[in-house]
Amino acid sequence: MLTQIFTPDFLRRLEALCIASMKEFRTARKGDRLSNISGTSIEFADYRKYFPGDDIRHIDWNIYGRTERLYLKTFREDIDFSIHVLLDASRSMLYPERDGKFGYARNLALALSYVGLTTHSAVKVAAFSDLETSDRLSDTSFINGTPFFTRRSGIFSVSDYLFGIRPGGGTDFAGYLQRYTSITRGHRGVFIVLSDFLFDPEGRRRGLNLLRFLNYDVKVIQVLGPGEMDPFRDLSSAEVVDVETRESRMISVTPAVRRRYAAALEEHIGDLRRFCRANRIIHALALTDGDLESFVLRELPRLGIIK
């Protein structure tokens, strides 16, 4: 399945990357990542003064012989941290149909999961939608997402999950995150949200603030398409339909209307970008008419989402 979606060369290049984190997370299981916190691995980090109660096995007796002062060796600890990949599966991700937003976001989620699994991080993928009105997402297994996988072979189960999703319903971002974080308590780490974020700004702020409060390293990737950036091209009138509420109205597409739409969309994107910048959340804008491989291999490392 993977080689039907991605080229072998792209997969090889993904294997040389890892998910970046601005925070350190200590867990019980040791993984392939190195932390700067003091630990017990074999990689030396620094010295510090000895304090009563410290493990005397880490005293550097050579320094004591020269200075008659007790210093402890500290080490860099191998750590395992969790990677949560959350995919927007609300109905808005299906429109405009020609933009292919959901397919692009799904493949991006698959690529990021593969990066995480190649470093033996604990990776979990889930999709969010309005739980009462979505189609297949009303199934508990889809609400909860995949288990945490730590082996590369887990990518096949992740792929089956992602390609089994049928988007539908509205968006309850903050409500879903409250439920999700309650069932994944104890799995701190990086939280990557992939969405068009075309829902209530207050709802997205409450959801992202919840993740920050719970000490996740949050990163958001906003997926939009050219049809969304300029939906009125070559139109003089149009029926505008809210795909989640089904509310509709007819409008005349004048130059003033196009300017107002462009300004409103830019403000909506800008509001999210400013919120992220103010709260140390990395924000990336992915346009579906761009090349996904180039976005992953060039843009995401530039922004610090992967390295």
Q: Write down the mean pLDDT value for the chain.
A: 84
Rounded to an integer, what distance in angstroms lies between the CA atom of residue 108 and that of residue 223? 10
Per-domain boundaries in the chain: 2-23+81-303, 33-79
Name the band, by pLDDT with cuts 50, 70 and 90, for residue 134.
low
Give the total residue count for the chain: 307
Nearest to 44 by CA among 58, 55, 29, 57: 58
Q: What is the pTM of this model?
A: 0.79
* CATH annotation of 2-23+81-303: 3.40.50.410
pLDDT reported for residue 302: 96
Segment 154-166, tens digit of pLDDT: 999 999 999 999 8
Residues 6 or more apart in contact with residue 280 via CB below 8 angstroms: 22
Nearest to 86 by CA among 156, 23, 174, 200: 174
Least confident of 38-52, 110-124, 156-170: 38-52
Name the band, by pLDDT with cuts 50, 70 and 90, for residue 41.
very low
C-alpha neighbours within 13 Å on the C-beta side of residue 100: 10
Question: Which long-range contacts (C-beta less than 8 Å, at least 24 apart) are formed by 257-262?
Answer: 257/232, 258/230, 258/232, 261/231, 261/232, 262/230
Question: Which long-range contacts (C-beta less than 8 Å, at least 24 apart) are formed by 266-271?
Answer: 268/197, 268/198, 268/201, 269/222, 269/224, 271/201
